[in-house]
Amino acid sequence: MPGMKHERLYLAPVAGVDEAGRGPLAGPVVAAAVILPERGVPRGIDDSKKLSATERARLCGRLLDCAIVGVGIVEAEEIDTLNIYWATMKAMTVAVDQLAATLGCAPGHVLVDGNRLPRWGYAATPIVGGDALSRSIAAASIVAKHTRDTIMIRHHESYPHYNWASNKGYGCATHRRALVEHGPSPLHRRSFAPVAQTVLPL
């Protein structure tokens, strides 16, 4: 389980940052920034990929109640304009800016999952595999993943033939077949090759 070793190395309060949704063919990329409380941290915080949807929903609710949280969302149209890398960097920046506004000042340090940092003015450290090492980053991964999944489930109601309630916009075979049959929706990332191609390999 991720611990607080990395958080203790830096000036408090330390925020963890992670994103969800770099790979899907549709929908936004979402980033979250989380500062955990000194006491009352929910049990079971782990890399969001290791948790069930039910556990993520429960923990996300608890984190929104007890932690300082910022969320950044960059939609598909802007992903196509910026490219997915810079869109992810923007989502992370928006998340930390929102967290800082709630906090009333910049966090003492920011821990970011991965090996790259946005171009921002925050003191920060990238940590490869951080969602498995840092509890703050793991918490951010839960908030980002649950937030994005909730968005895609809501969009499923308008575009049910893509089955986003199940695949969350990722390019599984059923999604790609629906893309061939119905064409791209306004929520598809048209710069991504499987969407841009006229005939898609199944």
CB 148 within 8 A of CB 28: yes
Cα(180)–Cα(185) distance, rounded to whole angstroms?
Answer: 11
Whole-number Å distance between alpha carbons of 32 and 143? 6
Residue 75 marked as a ligand binder:
no
Q: 92: helix, coil or strand? A: helix
Strands 14-20 and 124-127: unpaired
Rounded CA separation 98/32 (Å)? 10
Q: What are residue 42's phi and psi, to 5 degrees?
A: -60, 145
Long-range CB pairs of 157-163, under 8 A, 24+ apart, other chains included: 159/185, 159/187, 162/26
Q: Which amino acid is at 116?
A: R
Question: Do the annotations mark residue 19 as ligand-binding?
Answer: yes
Residue 47, marked binder:
no
Per the annotation, binding residues for a divalent metal cation are: 18-19, 113
Instruction: Name the binding residues.
Output: 18-19, 113
